[in-house]
Amino acid sequence: HKYVYDFAEGNKDLKDLLGGKGANLAEMTNLGLPVPPGFTITTEACKAYLTTGREPDGLAAQIEAHLESLEREMGRKLGDPQDPLLVSVRSGAKFSMPGMMETVLNVGLNDRSVVGLSAQAGGNDRFAWDSYRRLIQMFGKTVCEVPGEEFEHALDDAKRAKGTTNDLDLDADDLRGLVDAYKKIFVKHTGREFPQEPREQLDLAIRAVFESWNAERAVVYRRQERIPADLGTAVNVVAMVFGNLGADSGTGVAFTRDPASGAQGIYGDYLANAQGEDVVAGIRNTVPLQELERIDKKSYDELLDYMARLEEHYKDLCDIEFTIERGKLWMLQTRVGKRTAAAAFVIAGQLVDEGLIDLDEALHRVNGAQLAQLMFPRFQLDHEFQPVAKGIGASPGAASGKVVFTSARAVELAAEGESVILVRRETNPDDLNGMIAAKGILTSRGGKTSHAAVVARGMGKTCVSGADELDVNVPAKRFTVAGQTVNEGDVVSIDGTTGKVYLGEVPVMPSEVVQYFEGSLEPEHVDNALVRAVHRIMTHADATRRLAVRTNADTGEDAARARRFGAEGIGLCRTEHMFLGDRRELVERLILARTDDERESALAALLPLQRADFVDIFRAMDGLPVTVRLIDPPLHEFLPPLEQLAVNVAVAQERGEDVAKEEALLAAVRRMHEENPMLGLRGVRLGLVIPGLFAMQVRAIAEAAVAVTRDGAVAKPEIMVPLVGAVQELETVRAEAEKIIAEVVGDSGVEVLIGTMIEVPRAALTAGQIAEAAQFFSFGTNDLTQMGWGFSRDDVEGAFFWRYLELGIFGISPFESIDREGVGRLVRIAAEEGRAARPGLKLGVCGEHGGDPDSVHFFHEVGLDYVSCSPFRVPVARLEAGRAVL
Ligand code: ADP
Ligand code: MG
Ligand code: MG
């Protein structure tokens, strides 16, 4: 079995076997770029080691053989006392993964070869001892789990003793002393001497990389990211080249385009006289890569040439690690580089222009999450505003408001109409009300999967988590940051995309991309690479997709905006808001009606109001279908809450006022009280229990459609009955509705469809029967998820979803992204059986999943006709519907 590949034997498509780093090192080698020689131990060797607990048979011999040929090629032996070959041992899985073991450089150094290394470098003792102390540090930390701070402290002590803060001021003797100090630390923590045998160093480092696959952080990360647990990691053994040999040496990173904006040009950092990890560690200040032209023109030109070749070859933005050893350039890593959302669009557009990729590929390379990011409002930052802290951008958006430290205070101030930012060390389920009331959430602890982050994302609320520069003192109602104190009531601004925190109120403006979708920026006339790229890719997505995209909108205004965003109809118009505000009183009358006459008069008063609402919506959606859902929530939701009513009645009685009406209301609310309103008297059940309610709505819809048609517009109403679980429910409602429609529509030419939501699991499972009575289905995946999992959405997200995510029970909330295997299966069954019973049955989805990228792909796969989502999500759904076809 072949466990070891020379770089010359691999290529970029072997990432499964060689890991990302190894596959790309092989690719560069075969392109003829100067990669230091080396070899890759495969992920299969790692897997074998992890299942049996020991290196597989033959691995040691293969490593030996490849090491020998490496030694021959380099003309040096690993750790040779006179003229040592040194190597780096680098982990590299298929996906880059935080928590995996990092790299060990300078393997092969010991008390004797350190002398040989110095001689090799022309008597450069300083360099040799610096390399040795780095080995002990990295080996100790990553292979033997010695706490890294101990080494850091010893280094700081050495610098302090020398009266400097710059590691370059330490001379050979200082570094020799540091090696002694490091060795003592090593012994203290491992109970053994630092291994002097080069081959033992190598074997231990390789084994540590294997084992790091199962390090706790790596395991948790994989679960969350849904990376399979059985891929294993590869190990790269690479001949060392030295950037720390003096001023003519150095190390750096380079990007073939700006990963922030996508602009063409030269981007990167360079650090003279340093080894690779120094650039990232920020020990000294790097210089911009352009300066390398002045420092070492030959290497610079060569690097630019390689960068151009790599881009041409990978047909994408590449990032690169390189090292210069005494004027000789070495390439140490490349990969297709990470980029911001804006850069992703801009680069995809540029590459099409350059003829490197076609539009399909450009569409494939961007995604809806990136587009969504580009649509969040922006802070209008000028020099006046400098961030005071940077945490994790946990839930995007831009929010400003008064600082509060408790949930109760957040609720209070928000009720007074203030914008508030809830600041906590971390949040917990008790903070939920405050989080709902706040415009944004800021915590000093916790990452992307902390309670604050998960709940905020669920609510679509801006959140910065883990801003650890903040010292939050909740009892004292203040926090300190960057030497300043911020008290309750002071204003801060947080950017949930960048994680930055500002003092004061930073003005907010709509993003350019939203201005484009709104129609206020014309792509052809705009000198804006991002808008042009978005326009081009969206146009291609629209031309490619099969799914139509509709919107969820309840008012004419929302409908008009969604239309500008590209909505091709309304998939869900809720009618609940038509019972709120001034109209509550009519609902009260309806509920309290003791006679048919009283009830009918209440309904008659509601009819013209509803009709006017529908007229607005049909006008805004002239020519496009509008799906109206008959009233869904339990009626008592439109009445004051029980406790409040009870108090009002008691107070009024005390004062001796006439409380007959309030008492009747209170009795009604008591009567209608439900333990599980979610599973109670709502949806179609209401329509069947309260005579005339659905009839009034159907009439309002039909009359509005006729009125709009008379004015020359085209109304295409689709009436949707919620919460149906049995075909008999739908048949009953439909019979009544059809009579009314026939009567109202007459010969106006208006056509009204009648269909149902599929949101109760039983409806999905009896879809064949229900289809006999339905002209369309619309999947209500919010309720279908609630009832499918038995999760009450309003209760569970804050209560325990964070724990489920932490445990990897799901990688993402099933309310955010459709649960393909469970809830998705119900959708699939209903789609198939519905269409079998009624060929051509129109199918759509109107749950919030309609705007979720992964869910859109699923709905495409199961053959729905359209998705419907909130207006702001419409462009995301258009883009993903296009990508789903590729
Ligand atoms: P990471 O995946 O964290 O970037 P790498 O394996 O790329 O880890 O290595 C860490 C640093 O060490 C990088 O800057 C890399 O360029 C440098 N490095 C790795 N191998 C060598 C080598 N053989 N010679 C010189 N520098 C190296
Ligand atoms: Mg690297
Ligand atoms: Mg529902």
Residues of the chain with CATH 3.30.470.20: 250-336
Closest residue to atom 23 of ligand 1, CA basis: 240
Tens-place pLDDT, residues 45-68: 999 999 999 999 999 999 999 999
What is the helix (H) or strand (E) element at residue 239, kind and residue range? strand 233-239
Pick from 682, 526, 693: which is nearest to 599 by CA? Answer: 693
The pLDDT of residue 224 is: 64
The CA 667 to ligand 1 mean position distance, Å, reads: 74
Q: Is 390 helix (H, G, I), strand (E, B) or coil?
A: strand
**Interval between CA 780 and ligand 3 midpoint (Å):** 5
Going from the C-alpha of 820 to that of each of 816, 823, 827, the distances in angstroms are: 12, 6, 9
What is the pLDDT, as a whole number, of residue 99?
Answer: 58
333 lines ligand 1 (CB under 6 A): yes
Which of 333, 334, 335 for mutating ligand 1's site (highest number of atoms within 8 Å of CB)? 333
With a CB cutoff of 8 Å and minimum separation 6, the contacts of 868 are 549, 550, 551, 552, 569, 570, 571, 572, 627, 778, 844, 845, 846, 850
Q: Is the CB of 404 under 6 A from ligand 1?
A: no
| Residues paired with residue 758 on neighbouring β-strands, in sequence order | 779
The CATH superfamily assigned to 377-509 is Phosphohistidine domain (3.50.30.10)
C-beta 97 within 6 A of ligand 1:
no
Please tell me the residue having the least CA distance from ligand 1 atom 22: 240
Instruction: Give yes or no for residue 350 CB within 6 A of ligand 1.
Output: no
pLDDT of residue 640: 80
pLDDT single digits (tens) 430-464: 788 899 899 999 999 887 767 888 778 767 789 99
Proportion of the chain above pLDDT 70, given as a percent: 98
Residue nearest to atom 18 of ligand 1 (CA): 276
Cα-Cα-Cα-Cα torsion 377, 381, 386, 390, nearest 10 degrees, comes to 20
Among 777, 798, 789, 792, which residue's Cα sits nearest to residue 818?
A: 789
Q: Is any atom of ligand 1 closer than 6 Å to the C-beta of 324?
A: no
Distance CA 578, CA 580 (A): 6
The pLDDT of residue 808 is: 76
- Write out the H or E segment, with its range, that includes residue 181: helix 172-190
Tell me the residues surrounding ligand 2 (ion) with CB < 5 Å.
Answer: 333
pLDDT band at 282 (very low <50, low <70, confident <90, very high): low
**DSSP class per residue in 384-422:** T---SEE-EEEE--EEEEEEE-SHHHHHHHHHTT--EEE
Q: How confident is the model at residue 221 (pLDDT cuts 50, 70, 90)?
A: confident
Q: Where do you find CATH 3.30.1490.20 in the chain?
A: 4-239
Strand partners, 85: 78
Percentage of the chain beyond pLDDT 90 is 74
Q: Which atom of ligand 1 is nearest to the CA of 239?
A: 23
b (16+ CB within 10 A) / e for 187-212: eeeeeeebbeebbebbbbbbbbbbbb
User: CA-based angle 520:358:366, to the nearest 5?
Assistant: 55
Distance 792 CA to ligand 3 centre (A): 12
Which residue matches tokens 């709009």?
708
Catalytic hit among 451, 636, 849, 860: 451
The ligand 1 atom at the shortest distance from the C-alpha of residue 238 is 23
For the chain, helix (H) and strand (E) counts, in that order, are 35, 33
Distance CA 278, CA 272 (A): 10
676, burial (CB in 10 Å: exposed 0-12, middle 13-18, buried 19+): exposed
- Output the CA 448–ligand 3 centroid distance in Å: 30
The first and second tokens of residue 14, run together, are: 């072997």
- Work out the average pLDDT over 529-541: 96
Ligand 1 atom at shortest distance from the alpha carbon of 38: 23
Model pTM score: 0.84
3-state secondary structure of 340: coil
Q: Inform me whether the pLDDT recorded for 98 exceeds 70.
A: no
- 239-262: pLDDT as tens digits: 999 998 989 999 999 999 998 889
Q: Which atom of ligand 1 is nearest to the CA of 87?
A: 23
Question: Where in the sequence of the chain do the CATH 3.20.20.60 domains occur?
Answer: 545-634+674-885
Q: Which of 573, 846, 849, 869 is catalytic?
A: 846
pLDDT band at residue 394, thresholds of 50, 70 and 90? confident
pLDDT higher than threshold 70 for residue 44: yes
270 alpha carbon, distance to own chain's centre = 31
Average pLDDT value for residue range 94-122: 88
Question: Which pLDDT belongs to residue 120?
Answer: 93
Closest-CA residue to 143 (of 87, 85, 211): 211
Please answer whether residues 373 and 497 qualify as being in contact, where contact means their C-beta atoms are separated by less than 8 angstroms: yes
Residue 421 pairs in a beta bridge with 403, 440
451 a catalytic residue: yes
Question: Best of 25, 85, 90 to mutate for ligand 1, by most ligand atoms within 8 A of CB?
Answer: 90
ipTM: 0.96
Average pLDDT of the residues in 626-632: 97
Chain mean position to CA 163: 46
Placement of tokens 């897997």 in the chain? 47
CB-based contact 624:716 (threshold 8 Å): yes
For residue 573, the cross-strand partners are 628
Q: What string of DSSP letters covers 95-151?
A: S--TTS---EEEET--TTHHHHHHHHTTS-HHHHHHHHHHHHHHIIIIIT---HHHH
Q: Report the pLDDT value the prediction gives residue 103, as an integer from 0 to 100.
A: 87
- The confidence score (pLDDT) of residue 826 equals 98
**Gap between the Cα atoms of 402 and 486, Å rounded:** 10
Whole-angstrom distance between the N-terminal and C-terminal Cα of the chain? Answer: 37
Q: Does ligand 1 lie within 6 Å of residue 835's CB atom?
A: no
Atom of ligand 1 nearest to the CA of 243: 25
Which residues have CB under 8 Å from 743's CB, separation 6+? none
Give the number of the ligand closest to the Cα of residue 250: 1
Q: Is 846 a catalytic residue?
A: yes
Which is more confident, 280 or 477? 477
| CA–CA gap between residue 525 and residue 185 (Å, rounded) | 65
Report the CATH fold assignment for 250-336. Answer: D-amino Acid Aminotransferase; Chain A, domain 1 (3.30.470)
The two beta strands, 440-443 and 420-424, are parallel
pLDDT at 618 over 70: yes
Categorize the per-residue pLDDT at 283 as very low, low, confident or very high, splitting at 50, 70 and 90: low
**362 — pLDDT class (breaks 50, 70, 90):** very high
The predicted structure's pLDDT at residue 591:
86
The average confidence (pLDDT) of the chain is: 93
Looking at domain 4-239, which of 3.40.640.10, 3.30.1490.20, 3.20.20.70, 3.40.50.11540 is its CATH number?
Answer: 3.30.1490.20
Beta pairing class for 776-779 and 753-758? parallel
The pLDDT of residue 280 is above 70: no
Does ligand 1 come within 6 angstroms of the Cβ of 321? yes
Task: Say yes or no: CB of residue 253 within 6 Å of ligand 1.
Answer: no
pLDDT over 70 (residue 680): yes
CB of 99 closer than 6 angstroms to any ligand 1 atom: no
Contact between 46 and 210 (Cβ < 8 Å): yes
**Ligand 1 mutation target, pool 103, 138, 320, most atoms within 8 A of CB:** 103
On whether the 545-634+674-885 domain is CATH 1.20.20.10, my answer is no
Indicate where the chain has its CATH 3.50.30.10 domain(s): 377-509
Structure tokens at 93: 């899985």
Phi and psi based region of residue 315 (left: phi greater than 0; alpha: psi -120 to 50; beta: remaining): left
pLDDT tens-digit series, residues 495-516: 998 899 999 999 988 889 999 9
Vertex 777: Cα angle to 545 and 870 (nearest 5): 55
The first and second tokens of residue 609, run together, are 């109001």
Q: What is the mean pLDDT of residues 573-577?
A: 90
Please tell me the distance from the alpha carbon of residue 540 to that of residue 361, in angstroms, as a whole number: 11
CB of 107 closer than 6 A to ligand 1? no
